[in-house]
């Protein structure tokens, strides 16, 4: 199995997250493009041979497209469920892609800033990830990947519909922009439902931490465009990155300011309780850890933890958000652990990273 490798379990993505724009509200940006190959049924109707054909055709290309980042191929049919879990937790494949049971794989850039899922719902789903609000940058990288592949593959395309997709929700540009937002203050001021309604009116999808079908824990919301047809990539990007996300960022910051000015005591109580719990707990459930980390993150953004000795940054917390997930914990201890054991390992890891315990 040459070219295969365990996904890394420890450090964060390689881009310089500390300087990422709007990191106080936007954890990460993602651009995803869906494509299908001409002359073949979509994945849901493809035979085993046809799936194999798609893998063979794309895999070789992906290993050789001009790119700054070396791509590593992971054959998901051969990989362990633990490996797949890690890839899901790092947002490099979808849950659906992990759980599917057909010939499929993913090419992951060594710096983990991009990945190309083969035989997910569509034959090809390429995505680029960035810290903070960097959609133009991600879009540029994704477009160039699309063009490189498009020079060698014939995509399924119709003049009227544009790029054809297996699901009607992706036809046209096949482009999906998303931003992972941290909106704790809008939640506390009870404005989050208004935001959800506004998002719906603007044809945006609002989902939880793992995208489709997942609930929001710790006030993390993935916002993405739903309309892929009838508007150019540029128009979609301009509106999303130029208007929609900045507006949400502004609302959240304003709500944080209100809390800070008018309810400082309550806010501090929340933040320092979270800090205390995370710094002393001996067992932590995943949900609990995420909620506490969310409160702590808000405190760090408002510079409330200055007076403590701990040197906690947003990156520390975002990194912890990754590390407390079950797959990452398993990777950390390097053996299978029960859910109860995982709670203990999680609490120990959090204390170690937050306060050097």
Provide the minimum distance between the beta carbon of 116 and another protein in the complex, in angstroms, as a whole number: 16
Three-state secondary structure call for residue 282? coil
Q: Locate 69 and state its tokens.
A: 């980042």
Q: Is 243 in the site for another protein (CB under 8 A)?
A: no
CA 232 to chain centre: 24
Q: Are 181 and 221 in contact (CB under 8 A)?
A: yes
Provide the minimum distance between the beta carbon of 83 and another protein in the complex, in angstroms, as a whole number: 27
Question: Contacts with another protein in 108-127 (CB under 8 A)?
Answer: 121
Q: Locate 206 and state its tokens.
A: 């609002």
Partners of 224 in the beta sheet?
Answer: 178, 205
Three-state secondary structure call for residue 64? helix
Stretch that binds another protein, among 12-20, 92-100, 232-240, 287-295 (CB under 8 A): 232-240
| Residue of the chain from 8, 77, 110, 162 that contacts another protein (CB under 8 A) | 162
Q: Between 143 and 291, name the residue whose CB sits nearer to another protein.
A: 143
Stretch that binds another protein, among 83-91, 153-161, 192-200, 308-316 (CB under 8 A): 153-161
| Residue of the chain from 69, 77, 82, 155 that contacts another protein (CB under 8 A) | 155
Stretch that binds another protein, among 79-87, 156-164, 264-272, 298-306 (CB under 8 A): 156-164
Q: Is 42 in the site for another protein (CB under 8 A)?
A: yes
| Residue of the chain from 45, 265, 282, 306 that contacts another protein (CB under 8 A) | 45
Q: What angle do CA 190, 294, 186 make, to 5 degrees?
A: 20
Question: Which of 277, 131, 266, 242 lies closest to 185 in space, CA to CA?
Answer: 266
For the chain, the straight-line distance linking the first and the last C-alpha, in angstroms and rounded, comes to 40
Q: Is 229 in the site for another protein (CB under 8 A)?
A: yes
| Residue of the chain from 29, 173, 316, 325 that contacts another protein (CB under 8 A) | 173
Interface size with another protein, residues (CB under 8 A): 46
CB count within 10 Å of CB 323 equals 21
CA atoms within 13 A on the CB side of 223: 29
At which residue do the structure tokens 């992951």 appear?
Answer: 108
Q: Is 49 in the site for another protein (CB under 8 A)?
A: no
Provide the minimum distance between the beta carbon of 66 and another protein in the complex, in angstroms, as a whole number: 11
Exposed e or buried b for every residue in 186-195, given b needs 16+ CB within 10 A?
bbbbebbeeb
- Contact residues for another protein, defined by CB under 8 A: 36, 38-42, 44-45, 121, 143, 146-147, 150-169, 171-173, 203, 226-235
């Amino acid at each position: 199995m040459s070219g295969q490798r365990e996904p890394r379990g420890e450090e964060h993505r390689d881009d310089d997250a500390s300087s990422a724009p709007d990191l106080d509200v936007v954890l990460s940006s993602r651009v995803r493009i869906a494509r299908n190959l001409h002359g073949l049924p979509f994945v849901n109707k493809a035979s085993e041979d046809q799936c194999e054909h798609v893998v063979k055709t794309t895999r070789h290309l992906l290993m050789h497209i001009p790119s700054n980042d070396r791509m590593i191929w992971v054959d998901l049919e051969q990989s362990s469920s633990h490996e797949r879990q890690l890839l899901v937790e790092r947002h490099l494949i979808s849950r659906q892609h992990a759980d599917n049971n057909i010939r499929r794989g993913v090419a992951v850039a060594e710096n983990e800033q991009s990945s190309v899922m083969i035989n997910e719902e569509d034959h090809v789903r390429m995505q680029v990830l960035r810290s903070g609000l960097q959609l133009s940058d991600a879009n540029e990288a994704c477009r160039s990947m699309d063009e490189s592949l498009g020079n060698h593959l014939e995509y399924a395309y119709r003049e009227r519909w544009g790029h054809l997709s297996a699901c009607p929700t992706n036809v046209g540009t096949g482009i999906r922009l998303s931003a992972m937002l941290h909106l704790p203050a809008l939640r506390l001021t009870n404005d989050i439902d208004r935001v959800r309604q506004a998002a719906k009116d603007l044809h945006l999808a609002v989902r939880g931490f793992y995208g489709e079908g997942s609930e929001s824990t710790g006030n993390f919301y993935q916002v993405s465009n739903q309309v892929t047809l009838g508007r150019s990539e540029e128009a979609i990007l301009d509106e999303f990155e130029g208007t929609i996300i900045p507006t949400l960022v502004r609302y959240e910051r304003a709500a944080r300011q209100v809390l800070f000015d008018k309810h400082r005591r309550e806010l501090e109580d929340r933040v320092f309780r979270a800090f205390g719990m995370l710094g002393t707990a001996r067992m932590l459930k995943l949900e609990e850890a995420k909620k506490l980390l969310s409160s702590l993150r808000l405190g760090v953004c408002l510079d409330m933890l200055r007076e403590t000795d701990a040197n906690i940054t947003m990156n520390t917390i975002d990194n912890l958000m990754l590390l407390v997930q079950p797959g990452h914990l398993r990777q950390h201890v390097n053996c299978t652990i029960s859910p109860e054991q995982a709670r203990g390992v999680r609490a120990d890891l959090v204390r170690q990273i937050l306060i050097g315990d």
